[in-house]
Structure 1
Amino acid sequence: MDAVLQQQIMDELPLGVCVVDEASCVVFMNKFFLGHLGKSSEEVLNRDIKEMFPEAASILSKKIRSVLVLGNSTFSYWEHNPHVFDFASSRPITGRDHQLFQNIEFRPFKIDSSKVNAVCILVHDVTELAGIYNDRSELTERLEREHAALQELNKKLENAQNQLLQNEKMAAIGQLAAGVAHEINNPIGFVNSNLQSLNDYLKKIMQLLVFYHKVVSKGEEKYQALEVDMRKKMQFDFIENDIMELLSESIEGIERVAAIVSNLKAFSHVDNSEWKFNSVVDGMENTIKIAMNQIKNKAQIHRDYQDGIPEVYCQVMQINQVFLNVLINAVQAIEGYGDIFIRIYQEDQHVCIAVRDTGCGIDSDNLNRIFEPFFTTKPVGTGTGLGLSLSYSIIKKHHGDIRVTSEPGVGTTFTIELPVEAPAAP
C-alpha cells in the first residue's frame, strides 16, 4: 500500500490521529486534527503538542509520560475530561455549535525502534452520545424534581384533608356536647344543691347527737351503759367520722361533673366576650401569674419575647384560657423539676406563641388525637381531656392555628398562631 493511499485512509477516518515523539513533538497528524486546528501539516510537524494546546498541557504531559514509561495504553473519558482538545463540533440533531466531547486513547508506538519511543493519540468524537446522556440526565433530574413536587403537593393535600376531618369532627362533637350539657345541667344543679343542704343538715344532727351524749353522760349509769353498748354495736364512732368524709367526696365529685359540663358548654359555644385589640405578651404574663402556684414547684419559666409585638384582635379571656391550658399541660408533663420556655414573636402577618417544656413528651401515635375531646394521656382523675380541644376551638374561632410537636423523653412544643389583622366577625 503506497504512502498516498495510507494518508488518504487516515484522513477519512472519523477520529483524530496524532503521533508525538518522546519530546511530545508532533510526528504525524491526520485531517481530523488539522481541520479542527485550522492549520496545515507543515505548520504542526515537529511542534510540541502541549504548546499547541496549553489548556490541556497538564493532562497531555501526564498521559504521554505514563505511556512512554510503562509501555501501556491509557485513556481519558469524556465524563471526567469532556474537552481535552478545544475542538468545536456541530451536533447533527440540533445544529448547535459547541465544544466536541471526546474519548481519548493514548497508545504506545514504536518508530524505527524496538522500544516504545512515541505515543499515538486517538480522539473519538462522542458529542452525540454525550448529548443523549446529558439530555437523559436532565430529564431524570426534572422528573425527580416533579416527583418531589408531587410528593410535597400530596403531603399538603393530606394535611388539608386531615385538617378538614378534624374540623368536621370538632363540629360534630360540638353539637353533641351542647346537647349533653343542656340535658344534664339541670339534674346536676339540684343534686349539687341537695348535697349542700344535706351537708348542712348532717352538721346540725351531729351537733344534736353531741348534745344528747353530754346529757346522757350526766344521767344514771344504766343509761350511760346502754349508750356505750348501742354506740359500740352500731360502730357509731366510725360512722360519725366517715359520714362527713363521704358527703365531702360526693360534693367534690358533683362539682367536678359540673366543671366538665361547664367545659362542654364552653367547647360547644365559646362565650361572646368582647372582641378587642390586646397584647398577647400581657395576656401571657397575666396567665403565668394565675398559674404560678402550680408552676413554681415544678418548673422554671424562661421568656423570649420579641420587641414590638403588635396587638391582636381577640377575645382576651378566651385567649388567656388557651394560654392557661397549654401552661398547665406543660407543668403536668414535667416529672420532678424542669423548664418551660415561652417564645413570642411575629412571623409575617401572624403573632406566634411557642410554649416548650422539658417533660415526658407525647408518643407519635397520640399526637394526631391530642385535640380530640376527652382524649388525655394523664392518669384517671387528673384530666377531663377537654382543655386542648377547647383551646383548638378557640384558636380556630380566631382564624388562627395551633400545632404540637413532641419527642418522647425530650419534651413537647405547642405553637399558636394568631392573625394580626382583625378577622371577619364570627
Structure 2
Amino acid sequence: MTTLAVLENLTAKLPLGVCVLNEQLEIEYWNDFFADRLNISCDQVKGQNLLTLFPNEAKYLKKKINSVFVLNNASFSYWEHRPHVFLFSSSRPITGEETLMYQNIEFIPLHVSNNVVKTVCMIVQDVTELASYYQGKKQLSEELAQEHSALLALNTKLEAAQNQLLQADKMAAIGQLAAGVAHEINNPIGFIHSNLQSLQDYSTKLLNLISFYEKVVNKTQNKTFMALQQEMQERSQYSFLREDMPELINESITGIDRVTDIIKNLKVFSHVDSSEWQHANIIEGIENTLKIANSQLKYNVEVHREFQQPLPALFCQPMQLNQVFLNLIVNSAQAIDGKGHIYIKVSASSTALVIEIKDTGCGISESAQCKIFEPFYTTKPVGQGTGLGLSLSYSIVQKHKGSIVVSSELDVGTTFIITLPLLTPSDLERPS
C-alpha cells in the first residue's frame, strides 16, 4: 500500500470529523466520521454546499468559515460556547448511554496560494467525555454547596431570632457593596459605550467615503483605475468587511447597553438609601425586581401585569419590600415546571395597597399552607431551600403593619396577596 493510500485510509478512519471546503463552501472531502453519521458517502456529498446540508447552523458556520478565508487564520468553536453545532449522537464511554455529542471544532486554512486561502479544513472533535467530566465536576460542586447550605441551615436553626435581626444589616451591606461595584463599573462602561458610538460614526463615514470614491472611479470609465480598484477590493475582501464591520459594532453596542441596564437595575434594586423609611413607587420596585429575577423567568415564564393607575406613593422601606417581591417571584418561577405564567396585580383603596402575585405552578398542599411562613419550613428538596425566604417576607410585611396570605391548589397554582396600609411617619410610632 502506498504512503498516500495509507494516509487516506488513516484520515477516513480517524475518530475525528474531517471536512474540506472550497471557497464556495462546497464539500470536496469528508471522512467516515461524517459519512457514517449522515449516511452520505464522500463521493455522494462531493460538490454539495455545507450550508444546505446544515441549514439550522448555516449562519454560524458561514461566519466561522468565511473568517478563515478572509483572515487566513484558524477559527475555533468550543463546546462551552456552542456545544452542539452538528446534531450528532455520542455514547458515554462507561455507561454507553446515548446523548447529544458535545463538540470542539477547528476551522483551519488548508490550501493557501499567494496568501489567498483556497480551501478550509473543518475538524470536529467529540468531547462528550470531557464535557461530561466538567459537568459532573460542576454538579458535584453544586451538591457540595447544597450540603454546605444545609449545614448552615441547621446551625441557623439554633440562632433563628438573631438571624432575623441580622438580615436587614446583611441586605444593607449587600446593597452598599452592589452600589459601589456598579459605580466603579459605570466609568469604564461609559467610555467604552462612547468610543463604540464614535467608532460606529467613523466607520459609517469611512464606508460612505469609499463608496463615493468608488462612484468617482466608475464614472471616469478609466479601465486602469477600475481594474486597480477591483483588484484592491478583492485583495482586502472589502465586500465582506463592509457587511461584517457594522454588524460587529452594532452587536458590541447592544451588549454594552445590556450591561448598562443591568447595572442600573442593580443600583436601583439595592440602593443603600432604600433601607430608610421613605415614600416610594411600588410599581418601580416590582419592575426592578423582575429585571433582577430575569434569569429565573426568561426561559419558561411569561409575566402578566395589571397595575392600577395612578397609585399613591407608599411610605415604606423599599429595599425590604423588594426582597419580599423577589422571594415570591422566584418561588413562583421555581414552582413552574415547563412553560407557565405569573400574574402580578397591584391595586389601591383609600387606605391600602394590595399586591397579588399568582402563578400557574405545582401548587401547595393544604397542610403545607399552614406552615410556609414558619422559619426553616420548606417544601423544596433538602439542600435547595433554607425555609427562611417566606418567613423573612412575613416579618417584613408585619413591620409595615400589613398582611400576607396564601391560597393554593395542587397542580393549578398559588396566589399570594399582600396588603400594605398607606402609613404616615406617625403611624410607625404607634404599636400594631
TM-score class, shorter = 0.3 to 0.5
- Bigger CA radius of gyration: 1
Q: Give TM-score scaled by structure 1 length.
A: 0.40
Q: TM-score, normalised on structure 2?
A: 0.39
